[in-house]
Chain A
Amino acid sequence: MAILHLEHLAIDLQTAGRLRRVVHDVTFRLAEGEAVGLVGESGAGKSLTSRAVIRLLPDGARVHGAILMEGRSITDMSRESLRSYRLSEVAMIFQDPRAHVNPVRRVGDFLTEALVERGEDRKKALEIVTGLLATVGIEDAERRMRQYPHELSGGLLQRVMIAAALSISPKLLLADEPTTALDVTTQSDVMVHLDAQRRGRGLAMVFVTHDLELAIAVCDRIAVLYAGHLVEDSPAAHLHEKALHPYTRGLLASRPSPTLRRERLAAIPGRPLSGLEVQEGCVFCSRCAHAQERCQKERPVLRELGDARVACHRAEELLEGGRSGGADGAEFEVRVGDRG
């Protein structure tokens, strides 16, 4: 059984006094110990999707479809089961750790909080988190636990957050852009621990990021979101050679490379749409170099293609013919510039 199963997840939010759909259709399964990268540009619905899994949505939000954790529905959970779910099965790490810690409580108290709440003896809890700090590369645990959050750098505090997440021995880790605010070397220092601990403990992970390369490096699968829709779900290892959706290929091609200067970057024309803006037809239609009449009228459904899933009418065709022109993004060259 999948540890996590999202089936046609849709999320409506209260905006300007009325409910509007921002996440439209997200379906994926996550096996035990598996990591999926949720990638896409801003407004795609990555954060909302991950937050829905731990039921941390804005007030007034409405969820449709199913979110199942080992077969149990998250959306139907009682307060009490939700509490125990959050204390023992799932943990979340955020982009801005400072917004998620109490600035006047010591690091040690923060770290032991969940364990103590779960009924663990305080001394035992301290022992556990001291060990955990060492596993995320923090040597002087005793000193760190007496410090306040503002006394730690961003990278250290994020490692403390990882230790806190691990403290409950969850089965599933949700990480929403955990390294986006960090310097690139600090990101590497944080990711090395997150990755090692996750693999070592056989944790499943939903890793939210806008950095496709980072996601490919630490995840088994990549789920690409665009305008509130899951448009591709492919094995991470194949993505560079065999990205199926034109948007995924566009994302790969538009990022500059540290090893190679390109004459021009293969920019995708236009701007990313949020789920609030979708119209009839394929959600990527307005920016897609391969759009045809059918694309404008008919929304492609997510379907299996080999070991991946994709929502594009022309996926096979483009995979056949586009091998050469696809991955290097040459197809986008002629349409540079956002005039929309």
Chain B
Amino acid sequence: MADRPVGLREPGPPPALEVEHLVKVFPGPRSAGGFLAVDDVSFCVPQGRSLAVVGESGSGKTTLARMIVGLERPSAGRIAVAGSARSWRRVSSAERKRRAREVQIVFQDPYSSLDPRQSVRRCIEEALVLHFDLDRAGRTARVEELLEQVRLDRRHADSLPKRLSGGQRQRVAIARALACAPKVVICDEAVASLDVSIQAQVLNLMSDIRNETGVSYLFISHDLAVVRQVSDDIVVMRRGRIVEAGPADRVLDAPEHPYTRRLLAAIPRPGWRPAPSQEEVGTSS
């Protein structure tokens, strides 16, 4: 892997997120050794930067994200947020809350990730109450600020999620994530199910938010065109392992690994024709 190694730490302030030799083995078959979903993954996301994890279905992207937010316990490896390592030992509830605040996640499905009984305002307020000691006026002001940040109209603030469009719901999910003033926002296929015109709006919004707040993104996607638009660095995963990593332009303009080349070659674009992706014998079931 050429260029600045995405897997290594740089001198200077601690990165927003650092992951070292992360492993996840799910119990169960593969001749009883268990299923290796994430296999020795290392990378770091400097503050204010955006790193994309790309790969096909089943490559381990979501498992990786779930470990980073603490929904899944790693089998081995180290995760550090803003320089402090996560531990899976018992910690105080204040400490747990602080950690939860630092890393927020936005999921693919804007329909199922919001509480259907909660108005937009309540949904964002709830995150504020949980994490900050604000009075009523302070909360209201912060909600307004967040709505503005995700360019949601005030009149949507009192709507229930079912009255919002997919793109609007995804904005609410982003506002809720930002409410915690996180160091890192993980987006797991956060724009994958949006219509193309709405996807463009949300992608623009996400880059504005990064400029305004300095938040870091871990952007999980199978879509290399989307990834080019939003990320500084790219990690390509295949069957749990990193096969290539580097600055986005380098990886996409001069991919080194055959798998990255295949992913790129398969994207329809002007002049493109469908061609066999040279799937290796034995990979299909």
Contacts and interface: CB of A to CB of B under 8 A. Distances in A.
Contacts of B213: none
B272 A267 contact: no
Interface string A306-340: 00000000000000000000000000000011111
Interface residues of B, number: 47
B285 A257 contact: no
B8 interface: no
A329 to B, nearest CB: 9
B276 A192 contact: yes
Interface residues of A, number: 52
A151 interface: yes
A340 B276 CA distance: 43
A210 B195 contact: yes
A19 interface: no
A269 B151 CA distance: 12
A338 B138 CA distance: 26
A271 B56 CA distance: 29
Interface string B194-236: 0111111101110100000000000000111110110000000
B225 A256 contact: yes
A81 interface: no
Interface in A115-133: none
A217 B200 contact: no
A187 B268 CA distance: 10
A281 interface: no
Contacts of A217: 268, 272-274
B113 interface: no
A258 B252 contact: yes
B226 A256 contact: yes
Contacts of B133: none
Given A195-B274, A254-B199, 13 more contacts: A42-B166, A188-B276, A214-B268, A254-B197, A257-B225, A258-B252, A258-B269, A259-B228, A261-B229, A264-B207, A272-B198, A336-B204, A340-B153
Which 6 interchain pairs have the tightest Cβ spacing? Answer: A191-B274, A267-B200, A254-B200, A213-B268, A185-B277, A265-B200
Interface of B: 56-57, 151, 153, 165-168, 195-201, 203-205, 207, 222-226, 228-229, 248-249, 252, 262-270, 272-277, 279, 284-285
